[in-house]
Structure 1
Amino acid sequence: MKQIVWLLACALFPLCVSAQLAETFAGSGVTSAYPWEGDTEKFTINEKGELQLNAPSAKGEALLYLSAVPLLDNEWRFTIRNDYQGTTSNYFRIYLWSLQPDTKNPEEAVFIRLGYSKKNIALCRQTGNKKAEVLLDGRTLFENPQEAEVKVTTDKSGLCTVYSKCLSDQDFYKEGEAMLKSPSDNREGCFMIAVNFSAQHNTDKYADNIHINRFTLEDETPVEPEKPVEPSEPEIPEEPEPIPEPVEPENPDPIGKGYILINEVMADPNGAGGLPETEYVELYNASQQTLSLQGCSFGYGTAAPIMLKDYPFASGTYLVLYREGKDIEAGAGIAMPLAKFPVLANTGKELSLYDATGAVIDQVIYKKASAGVSWERQGESWQLSSDYRGGTPGASNSSLPEKPAEPEPPEVPATPAAVQPNDIIFNEILPNPYPDGSEYIELYNRSGKELPLSGLSIATRKTDGSLSTRYPLSSISALLPADEYAVLTKDAKGVTDFYHIPRPENIHTLKLPVLANTNATLVLFRTTDGVVIDELSYSSKWHTSLIKEEKGVSLERIDPEAATQDASNWTSASSPSGYGTPGSRNSQYGKTSGEQQPTRISKPQYSHETGLYAILYLLDQSGYSCRASIYDLSGRRVADISDNELTGTSGKLLWNGTSSNGSKLTSGLYILYIELYHDSGKTRRHKEVFLVH
């Protein structure tokens, strides 16, 4: 009989764990959260918490996979980003289901292809080693670098529906439907990420936020239950001690209904004005006492409730629930990350809060989400947040007083002035960076008042006049002060490694359009209504003829008050400035019309601290090239300081006091001779006697 019991225990012992998959790549390594297999050495987790391709610089394919996932009656969601256009060598295949972890011969497989020759999204089916069959051809998404969120659903009959959402989309776009030929049995397959890449684009592909509703994580090392040991005959004590009465464990006190309120819901954070793009639910303690959250749970739809952490929740305070590993702003409230925080549906869902006894504390159904704006509670009704950031996590609602149970007239938050046309302008651009450098766009606030950038977007204008992919600046929460600069770039290190940055806080890293080296049209506009703030159609021909190599040389605006589109108002950054001034006043700053400043050049000034001579200059206009030399009193040229360098309108030339052959000049009187040449034909000469120490 004992043998039968032991065999039954082995048979019933679970060999796998069923759950949803929610991979956010919040850990330090690829396999931190889930046991990914395959080419793990070709991927890394970057500082933004994304899965990033990090393969050798040679054309190839990188594959990651997990087991196991059913094909039917399931839902997949994932985000991918390709910082290069889709080609036959640069594209993604996300295998929703594959019987074998092999892209060449998966036996049977269904996958989403993103990019490839049509640069679009497509649903494909693959059988054996045959060419994949396209079941659904979707819209073109990867004509340029792009980030896209994809959702795929299947029902029990095999009907598959594909949706996509780009940064410019408010909601998911339905790509279409297709019927899958389901296998004869209900076998589970692998979920796979396959990335094809060229040698030059072996690191610019990313994936994140992978969610699968029905997923089975196989246990690699199941432990069999131990075989029971034959018990020996018990020893009977002569005088058995009395059995103590069982003590009932202490249970936390139940929390009354309405004591804690579900107070704010951010279901679609994309484009939020000044908040991290993180979904969250805010709770508010509306009672007059501190409440223990021990045993309390949060419910999402019909899914199993998620246990909250034991925390003393003070009266009149706020608590923000969100997914562990994501960024959150909770103000003066409590931030409570949850490993199993659900993906909030944009279409609306029922949310519940339960106490330790399972009784409902609060229950609401939020409405369809609006991108970048939270739903806030106002008494018994709900309304969209009017806060300029898009929500108020951890603080009073924008239209709600501190205590929802006893509402008072809300304080209207002071919102910054709306940006008007020409308030913020394009001031400097670098379309052609150094190798390993990064393109950048510099904006300048000439309005005389603080202005928000979070409500603006940037795009390039196509030849037909329409705008290409829109890139919101919503991640920039700080206001831009008057007469200050904001530098936008995809890679801050690609700017700071090559140029002098006096104020690093002016550098903002975010997604931007690709700047063509030769010419393009940049548009800065209000995200909400599309009003154009500034527009620049630049050309590489705007560089001065003195610049023979344009790589790494920025185009600077000369006069902020002159027209953006005036070609004569733009020129190359000066050589002494390092050919770029991101985040500070342009080296070519000046006036293009009216009375011009006089040209002034100082004597060489020696610094005992640096051991260098500095020659300060102030020129009447930009665009001069400079030749500067040192002569002795006999008229012999003994040193060269500048050889046809492009100057700015102001700056300084530095000289270390050595001659052309590298030896230090002896003390005495010498002559500084400078010649300035302008494209217009104007020439200026300057001669100055000075003392070499």
Structure 2
Amino acid sequence: MKKLLLPFLALLSAHTATAQLTDTFADGNFTQNPAWTGDVASFQVNAALQLQTNGPATTGTELQLVTSCAATTGTTWEFWANLKLATSSGNFADVWLMADQPDLKASGTKGYFVRLGGTPDEVALFRKDATGSPVYVVNGQDATLSSTNNNLVRVRVTRSPANVWTLERDLAGGTIYVREGTATDATHQRSAYFGVYCTYSSTNNRAFYFDDFRVTDATAPLLVQAAAPAPRQLDLSFNEAVATAQSAASYRLSTGSPAVTAAVRDAQDPTVVHLTLAADLPLGSLTVEARNVADAFGNVAAGPLTVTFQNNGFAVPPGLNQLLITEIMADETPVVGLPASEFVEIHNPSATTVVDLGGVRLLKPGNTGNPAVFPVGAVLLPGEYAVVCGSTRTAQFAAFGKVFGLTNFPSLSNAADQLVLRGRDGRTLFEVSYADTWYRDNRKKDGGWTLEIRDTTNPCAGADNWRASEDASGGTPGRANSVRATNPDRTAPVLLRALALNPTTVRLYFGEKLDSAAAATVVLYTLTPAATVLRAAPLGPDFRLVDLTLAAPLTANQPLTATVQRALDCVGNASGPATSAPLALPVPVVAGDVVINEILFNPRTGGVDFVEIVNRSGKFLDVQGWQLGNQKPDNSVDAEPVSSGPVLLLPGGLLALTTRPDIVQQQYPTSSDAAHLLPLPALPTFPDDAGTVVLFDSQGRILDRFAYSDEQHLKLLDNVEGVSLERIRAAGPSEAGNFHSAAGSVGYATPGRPNSQQQPDVAGTGILTLEPEIFTPDDDGQQDFTSLAYRLDAPGYAGSVTIYDAQGRLARRLVRNETLPTQGTWQWDGLTDRGQKASVGYYILHIELFRPSGGQKQEYRKTVVVGARQ
């Protein structure tokens, strides 16, 4: 191979000004000119003056060497290699053209590399991101390196200033290159190292040979971006590293003023130049020019290079959603990879505006202590992220970028909490009420992982816009979130309920945060029968509530309807023509008006108890001050308040009382109603086997009492965890005979919804209705299935439906021993148990109903025809 050395050196001498890296190992070592680091004891320069592996003869060994190299775009990489082995998934070499860190074995190393060998025996160009497996940039031809002991190749890779990659190779080791392919990829724009990585089986420890490494940058730098972080400073970003020495004379504004007085390359990022100006920048669109700027390798851009930017001013106090909380570490242990400390991340979503943080407060509403306050002079640049933590924890986060250590940083509850950012004028800037169900991952919610916002352009959203971090370290403090994704809010705000707090004040409850300014517009609200609204006051910090002040007092228990015209949520979605809710001025409750309607006392793993109450009177009632209790065997009662604030219970209305409505919704997604789930700070302890639940009014008088037991559950149920007991008849007594296990077909509980086992009256006979009796399962949208509706005379039935063809052969087991509500529907789509379409003809539906408690068994047969359209 060294016979190519002379022409190669001649080529080198002709372009030394632009060579970023050259090593032919002609000096017999790899420790200087340039210096390679890594597994130095496992490499050698052999007698042929080639770099050769010399590692341990152990299968699965990984070796690496790296040397400094910052070349990125407008660059050519060349090298020679010979793999004297049969390449495979465990025997290959990666030549890293760009790497952001010196450890090529680390999973988080980012950059680009050429793989020689691997399972496809190819020469291919890959990109490696911080997470995930490498991905192809150029997929080389398979079986290119197919020799068992002599895979010789010279490789050339070029990356144009437009980020177009070209991969070429010569299998004779010369310079007659064959193109493998081209592709555009601009993912990584920074590099610090060039290197080689080899992995092998035990017999191939000395089988990797490398030579003639050359990295050439022959293109001048390009000016990419300008930003003004301060009135008299401009930061210019180039597409590659520029020369250390910079001259103010190389830069000017196209307007000629203010003049540039100094130009300094950034100490950390060699692609950035900081310009100091003689006077403040004017507002508006500005153009900066650069002339005779050299890159780090001597290539000069004569220019002028120009870039235009918008100056919108500097360091302004943030308004609503102009400063965001984008990441929350509420439970820092066990440690995954981040410091063992609570923190939140804040973000300036603007692309142009510098945010003045001075005087901004971070707090938890209701806390009596002093809030955490950002110091005067603190700013957040456009698009910038910063970590906020306790004042004694700042050093732990220094490696993550900008950090604000605040005195009185609030303690974050693991399960659920509310955080608010308030401006120095007291206005709410941002609010989030998080819960550990937002993780959607039971492992991650146990600690060490952050919650991250998905779409920062949708700051008002709750659970749907937050997820557990997917970063291997447990979070992404100080940088863009790992779960970031487009997640717009296209849902209009809905008026959930309304309540008269007193004769002249009505409170409206909305399903999401409102535009507080728009929500204060009086003409949006009407009450019928006619009641004049004098004032509308949205309530912070989350602006889900609006209090209406009325001109005249309301009459007690008089039904009204509150209507809102075009309510706007905080991202501008309008509710449409109108959204409304019933209300009235509540009247006092008496025993028997409200009864216990459903109880879940033995929840599933990770679940919570709930007790549902129903208003069976014609009254509008306020549950404020009521209590829910568990009567113990000694007749003492463990009681907890139902609500410290006003909550209206409509005639016939339901409320499911629980500490975690979010968990109830998660475990009963299709049979719960969020509008009728009322969160309580605490519930009495209800034993899993038996107990007595008691409901009290605000005066401590008993409204209802129910003694429950797991013996009341349907005997056919193998497991009653997560199965509620439901009231059968609302007007009936609160005793065991009037309660039954919720039906399996609705998920075994109906929190906030009508009971699956409810029965309007005691009388009735079983009825089966089949419609249509002829159907055509051809997916044309017309009679594609048949429905078998049932109405049972009592709860507690189990049912089976088996379908036979006209010859008596089994076609489909549609239902097998399913616990049933008192009424429902089954559907047959015309498919057999094999998933095939049933043949045209007559079919018999054999229905079996069995009631274990009474031993009754009933059998029915229905005929149906599977047809076909002509």
Q: TM-score, normalised by structure 2?
A: 0.35
Structure of greater Rg = 2
